[in-house]
């Protein structure tokens, strides 16, 4: 993974638990890289070592760390230096996910050797509900995708229920059901207004 991903994990740990906890995690993971370079590629195994060590030191599950990190990445780290790319991808939750592959391709122009994931948006029969498909060469990042999607909804001030409902072990790719909760709120408001 590119260094910016590992640095985002550092960002989150330092912001929530402090620099000493981060140093403890690096010690536990036996990692001596100094500073992560944003534009350098690191072995994916290093990212998983960081997550496992963070889980041991903080007592949180690896899934919840990946989730928190995905959300943090969207709301804070990811925008650093990429604000313009981010803003061009779409101006609501669903449009942004529809434009994600094109946006990742633009990022790929700037950074060689990337292995970008691919996302699809499929409407369901239920109003305001969609299935998001996530295809990747990598395995083990689906909790992070839930966190990324959660951060994305927050970024647009939208309210979505996000849940993984399909797994690559069964279907060859992961999928998530997302439901626009503001529709429920609007209906509740209409009912209570009589
Ligand atoms: C400004 C916005 C964004 C930028 C600059 C960006 C950039 C990147 C970069 C550099 C990587 C690492 C690729 C590699 O090391 O090979 C990556 C991976 C990834 N991105 Fe994005 N990204 C952005 C937004 C998003 C959003 C909104 C999502 C939402 C779902 C997302 C989902 C992912 C996932 C799941 C991975 C890695 C896991 C995998 O390969 O399956 N990204 N992105």
Q: Over the stretch 98-108, which tens digit does the pLDDT of each residue have?
A: 999 999 998 88
Please name the residue whose Cα sits nearest to atom 36 of ligand 1: 117
- Give the pLDDT of residue 27: 93
Whether ligand 1 lies within 6 angstroms of the CB of 117 is answered as yes
For residue 185, what pLDDT band results from cuts at 50, 70 and 90? low
The one-character DSSP state at 34 is S
Distance CA 169, CA 176 (A): 14
Assign a CATH topology to domain 3-77: H-NOX domain (3.90.1520)
Whether ligand 1 lies within 6 angstroms of the CB of 115 is answered as yes
Handedness of CA 80, 86, 91, 93 (dihedral sign): negative
Yes or no: say if 133 and 172 are a contact pair by the CB < 8 Å rule.
no
Look at 180 and 184; give whichever has higher pLDDT: 180
The residues spanned by each domain of the chain are 3-77, 90-192
Distance CA 103, CA 96 (A): 9
**pLDDT for residue 79 is more than 90:** no
CA angle (121, 47, 170) in 5-degree steps = 45
Distance CA 32, CA 115 (A): 25
Distance CA 184, CA 27 (A): 47
Residue among 9, 73, 104, 158 to mutate when testing ligand 1 (max atoms within 8 A of CB) = 104
- Give the pLDDT of residue 118: 98
Q: Do 3-77 and 90-192 have matching folds?
A: yes
Whether ligand 1 lies within 6 angstroms of the CB of 2 is answered as yes
- Give the pLDDT of residue 2: 76
Q: Over the stretch 46-78, which tens digit does the pLDDT of each residue have?
A: 999 999 999 999 999 999 999 998 998 888 776
Contacts of 128 by beta carbon, 8 Å cutoff, 6+ apart: 179, 180, 183
Q: Extract the tokens encoding 47.
A: 């990212």
- CATH no. for 90-192: 3.90.1520.10
The one-character DSSP state at 41 is B
Yes or no: say if 173 and 133 are a contact pair by the CB < 8 Å rule.
yes
């Amino acid at each position: 993974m590119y260094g910016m991903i590992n640095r985002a994990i550092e960002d989150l740990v330092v912001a929530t638990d402090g620099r000493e906890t981060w140093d403890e995690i690096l010690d536990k993971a036996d990692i001596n890289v100094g500073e992560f370079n944003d534009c350098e590629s690191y072995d994916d195994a290093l990212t998983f070592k960081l997550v496992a060590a963070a889980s041991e030191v903080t007592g949180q599950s690896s899934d919840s760390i990946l989730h928190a990190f995905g959300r943090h990445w969207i709301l804070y780290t990811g925008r650093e230096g990429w604000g313009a790319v981010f803003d061009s991808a779409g101006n609501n939750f669903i449009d942004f996910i529809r434009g994600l592959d094109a946006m990742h391709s633009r990022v790929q122009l700037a950074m060689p050797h990337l292995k970008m994931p691919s996302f699809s948006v499929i409407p369901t029969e239920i109003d305001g509900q969609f299935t998001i498909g996530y295809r990747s060469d990598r395995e083990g990042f689906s909790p992070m995708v839930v966190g990324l999607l959660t951060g994305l909804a927050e970024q647009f001030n939208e309210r979505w229920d996000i849940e993984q409902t399909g797994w690559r072990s069964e279907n060859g790719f992961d999928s998530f059901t997302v439901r626009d909760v503001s529709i429920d709120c609007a209906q509740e408001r209409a009912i209570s207004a009589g």
